[in-house]
């Protein structure tokens, strides 16, 4: 049986291209997910696929990095697939482990190394971009729930004796947000 595995890293990305290629390749069943390769959800989807496959099945992915986001996880997935008696077919890499020869094994390891290198380069570029943005004074991450003006007002209201619950209701935020805002204002003083 031909069993496909499709994955994208974020909810914003679409699976359509991968699903289309897997359909064209004749996959009878396709496991899919929209999650990071390092997430537990990806491991769960991959385990579902590995539990499902049987001896003689062919696991098909569009690219090798769809199996995981690190060389270790990719190689572990391939080993699990082989331990079930199935082979792996990578469409975009034109690689099939069906014949289990030394060349195919070397090519998988080499593809995994390059996939890991690509991810490491992306991480490095992202970190550089983040540092550059911080150096320019840009805010990184999620914006505070309350503006600076609202935080000042909340702080004054607390000094005037209002309770945490009352402040949370008044400013339409959670109690933990009120606590964090008060802590932030204390640090500024």
Active site residues per annotation: 9
- Give the DSSP per-residue string, 11-64: TTS--HHHHHHHHHTT-SEEEEEES-TTSHHHHHHHHHHHHH--TT-EEEESSG
DSSP state of 81: H
* 3-state DSSP assignment of residue 12: coil
Which tokens is 96 given?
Answer: 């099939």
DSSP state of 85: T
Partners of 2 in the β-ladder: 58
Which residues, 6 or more positions from 34, have their beta carbon under 8 angstroms from its beta carbon? 7, 8, 9, 10, 11, 13, 15
DSSP state of 104: H
Which tokens is 37 given?
Answer: 């390769």
3-state helix, strand, coil split of the chain in percent (to 5) is: 60, 10, 30
Helices (H), 84-147: 102-135
């Amino acid at each position: 049986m031909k069993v496909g595995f499709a994955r994208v890293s974020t909810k914003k990305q679409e699976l359509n291209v991968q699903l289309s290629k897997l359909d064209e390749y004749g996959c009878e069943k396709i496991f899919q997910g929209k999650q990071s390769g390092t997430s537990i959800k990806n491991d769960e989807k991959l385990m579902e696929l590995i539990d499902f496959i049987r001896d003689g099945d062919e696991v098909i992915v569009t690219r090798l990095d769809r199996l995981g986001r690190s060389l270790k996880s990719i190689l572990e997935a391939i080993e699990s697939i082989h331990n079930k008696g199935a082979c792996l077919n990578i469409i975009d890499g034109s690689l099939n482990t069906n014949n289990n020869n030394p060349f195919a094994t070397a090519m998988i390891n080499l593809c995994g190394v390059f996939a890991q290198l690509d991810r490491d380069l992306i991480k490095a570029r992202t970190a550089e971009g983040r540092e550059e943005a911080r150096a320019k004074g840009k805010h990184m991450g999620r914006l505070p729930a309350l503006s600076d003006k609202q935080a000042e007002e909340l702080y004054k209201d607390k000094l005037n004796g209002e309770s945490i619950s009352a402040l949370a209701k008044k400013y339409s935020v959670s109690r933990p947000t009120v606590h964090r805002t008060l802590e932030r204002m204390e640090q500024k003083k």
